[in-house]
Structure 1
Amino acid sequence: MCIISVIVVVTVLLAAIVTMIYKAYDTSYRDQTNSLAAAYCQMFRNNIENLQLNIKSVESRTDVLDETIPLEERKAKLAELASTSIMKDFSVAYGDGTTYNNTDLTQREYFQTAMKGQYAISAPVVRLTDGSVTTMLAGPVYTYNNKQYVIYGSIDSLYFSNGLDTSSMAEGSNIIVMDKHGQIVAASDTNLVMTLANYTSEENKKYNALAAEMLSKDEGLYKYKLDGVEYIAAYKTVPDTDGWKIAVNENYSGIRSSILIDIFVILGISLAIIAIGVVIVLKVSKKIVKPVIKNTNRLRQLSEGDVTTPFVNDSPKDETYILSESMVNTVETLRIYINDIRDVLSALAAGDLTVKSNIDYKGDFVEIGKSLNQISSALKSEMSEIKNGIVNMKEGAKQVAAGSQSLSQTAVEEAQAVSDISETVSKINEQAENTAKVSERVAELTVNTTENAKSGGELMKEMLDAVQNIKDKSNAIGNIIKTISDIAFQTNILSLNASIEAARAGEAGKGFSVVASEVSALAAKSQLAVENTEALIKDSLDAVNNGTDIANRASEEMNAIVADISRVAEEIAQINAAAVEQKNSITLINENMSKIEAVMQSTTATADESAASGEQLSAMSANLANTVEKYITE
């Protein structure tokens, strides 16, 4: 059964190998064909550049263009230049297409290209001068002495074909170079060149598909059949040409036959080697298989965790003995390592953190020994830190509990103080409200007093006007009294004159004398009344003037009182505004005190909780200390 499996596996492998070899050969031939096409492209490019240099060498010679020199001498000079170059001959064409050889090149494509200022190379053409098949090369149009010239020449029509070698290719393979019109420019089969074969013509219909493929793309691989033979063409565009394409056509059928022959040879050799190998394996396997199976079984037990079952080396003294001895050492070493790991971990599990591994681990197991000791050291260090931390935690828990109790007591006292302050602020708030109300009433009274004072000032002004009127009237009365005094004085004068006249009249004037006496007496009384009235009016005027002065001073005082009352009203208004602002501030203080009181109550509750948590933390730290005491660190 095992042999059949081996045969099946070998067969599958051989089939895979054959397929891979075939694909590798196929890819290799394709790459080789493509590389060959690229190499020929470079060869053509070099040849064309060399031909262009030959044309340039003639362009630099003005003596072949100087028409003062006879034409025959110029043609002789061109022939001399051709003899030292790879060109068959040189000639010159004028801008109108006529040449030194009396031919017309206007219909030649290479001449048309040259007149555009470019180098041009033609496919093989039938020459106008002698009818031979040749390839023409022309340089760009050149101006000399205000005339246009084109230097051109011919090369052997097989110039490009000479380097196309198919000797390393499969029989029936060929190489062609085709211009953009499908005409064969060069070929390993030179007959195609000399007959001016065109792969796009009806005459070469079997090549039409290949020509269409080559002309449609710059490069590629194309597989086709021709006369029952399969070909693969690697084609590329030739640089510095007007669309020339080179195609390396490999006989793919021949290549495939060669590949299959190589594969069958390799396959035969492989089968022979396999057969010999099978015989050798069958002989050797009997000595090797038994120890290998024994080692395999022990490895399986080892993979299942069995490191205690002993392994006896009873193999013959060959490579299998070394294998079995290695198995013995492996099992023993693993047993020692695992027992050591078990002992260390058991001690750690029991709380002994001072345990160390004393086994000399080797190879990659060295890290296990280091890790065991590092684990022990790390646990010991960490446990010591934990113990120290527990002591600090117990002390800290006590301090937290004490601090929390102190904070709680302080918070209670502060809450009481805040409550007292809140009550005081409430009383101040009430007083501020009363003050604001009183200041509002005082402001109203001040406004009324100001209005009354202004009214009193107006009355004082009216009184002054009345006193002034009395003074004016008194002055008028004085004038009247003065007039009356003058009348009395005149009356008295008249009475005296009447008395004198009565005395002169005697008895006849006695009656008139009595009247004159009465008039005189009446004038005297009038004079006395006038004097008394003047004195009274003077006293009245003095009293009026004094009253006017007093009224003026009273008016000034009243105006001052009005101004003072106005200022008092303004001050009281400011006091009222301040009282209102004070009331608002005290209200805000009262609200903030309420918030502070709430915060203090919360702080008190938090402090009580912290005190309880501190006591719990102290108890937990004591329990944790008891737990870690069982671990040995010293």
Structure 2
Amino acid sequence: MSEKPVKIRRSGKIRNKLLIYIVPIVVITIVTLVVIATTMSEKRMTELATSNLNSSISNQANNIESWLNENLEFFKTAKQGIEGLNPNDEELQKLLDSYYDYNSNSPEGLHIATADGKFIKPTESALEENDPTSSTWYKQGLTRANMQYGTAYKNAEGQNVVSAAAIITYGDDSIKVISADVTLEKISIIVNSGVKMDKASSFLVDTNDNTILAHRDTSLVSTTLGSDSSNKLMSGVAEAINNQNYATRKIDTYYVAFKEIKGTDWVLVSYIAQDVILASVQELGNYLIITGVVAVILIIVLILFVVNKVIAPLAGITKSIHAMSEGDFTIEVKQESDDEIGVMSGKIAEFVDSMRHMLSSISAESEKLKQESETSDSVSKDMFSASQSQAEAMQQLNETVDQLAIAVGDIAEHATTLATVVADTRDNSGKADEAMKETVKVSLKGRDDMEKLSHAMEGIQTANNNLVDAINEVGKASEEITNIVSMIAEIAEETNLLSLNASIEAARAGEAGKGFAVVATQIGKLAQTSSESATNISNLIADVHRLIDEAVGQANASAESIEKNSELIGVAVETFDQIYTNIQASNACIEEMIRDVQKVDDVATNVAAISEEQAASADEILATSQNMVEQAKNISRNSEDVANNSHELANTSDTLTSHVQQFKI
């Protein structure tokens, strides 16, 4: 039986495997948490920064609107005062002089231009207008009945101003426009210094022509925004203003908020760099990464500590299992704890103890099986010799029965001849005198034949008795064979049970018991074959018993018939003696002879019938003896098979013993 090749696996430590599996999971988890925390922080910081940016720009816009409205209210009050007084030119000049330098945001005060090109200003004002009707403020004022701010422009002195202008009515009905210039310096201060959010910046844009009214970079003030600018921030702002889309958004690397200034065409733009917003997020990410690395190191140290404490007993268990795999069951395994590993140690100790008992039992049973197989081998050899002797005896019985059949045939033939002679004697009784001498000869011959028949019947009776004795011997031998076969069946049954127990224990042994399981299976198959052979032999012996019983019955019947024939032949011999004695006086007793011949005729007829029946019985006995010869040959062959199986069982026992001896107990 070829053994399966054992696949050798590289051994590794559970600690290393745990580190290989757990550390990447921990690292991935921590990295995932860091990424999630950073992403959420970035999102939250962006939302917070956007909210602060909107809050800051709203506050700036409110300050600008408040400042503009405050100045506008002053201008409206002055306009209404002039219109209410309806002054003449002198009074108008005094009013304008009184408003000069009254509002610090409009140091040049109020000034008026008429449709005929007249320009009226405070006496101390330095403003000069050669053609006031073509000025920006005049044109803007013609379209308004109330004081409103217009677009920003540069006045004659080159200052960036915005004018609040409107049509004024006093005195005559001529068209006059009143205006007050507000410098953008104050607005620039509000725009540049009013940002609440740290590191954020703002600038103010006039949407009529995208002119920058206020900016921290003074070089950009009064310049025009364009979507084709190389500055991505400025081009993005210009595009948003052109599309009138003032939602807060990200432009390039900046977050930008927009706010329209009520009462003007201005838009306040506030922005902050993304790096500024995410600086704290980046710092938080660095802290999280450092924390994660420290956590990984601590977890690895903790895993090593826990593994060394918890899995340390596994080293001893592994060593014990390795020893068991090599067939060494002399090891001692101790349960040192109540946890799963301790329970495993206890179960291994129980398994080692169970294997010791099982191997000891298998060794003892194997030795017992070997002895029984040797006994079975010896018995099967004896049974084979007995079956051969039985076959020879049956062959002799067959020959004897054959001779018996021939003798019975001769008796039947002579009885028939006798019946014919008697019939002739009866028919020729009238000629008895003339045939007396012939009768004497015939009687002498008949007497001799009857004596021969008597001797033949005695030989048949003796052969029949010998046949009965031989059949009885065959019956006794078959009973011995039955006992032997029963013992073989019991041995096969015990072997089968032993094989089943060995298979169960081998299955419990797992990988280490696979080779033992193959041996146990072969033993089970051999035990099954032995049991089936024993059953076949038992069936054959039962048939032999039945045939023997039938043969004994036939032999007894034949014995009774032979005994009767012997008696009849004895009577016939006596009759022939009397005939021979009385033939001398046959002349006087011819009639008595005729009556006696009639009796002889009846007796001869009966003898002929009995002889025919005996011949038929002899033929049946011959057929039965031939069948018994075949059965004896079958028993001989089966006995030889039993002998071979016993020898194979002995070899299997040796193989089992050699396998068991591989284990150390």
User: What TM-score, normalized by structure 2, do the two folds share?
Assistant: 0.37
Q: Greater RCO between the two (CA within 8 Å, min separation 6)?
A: 2
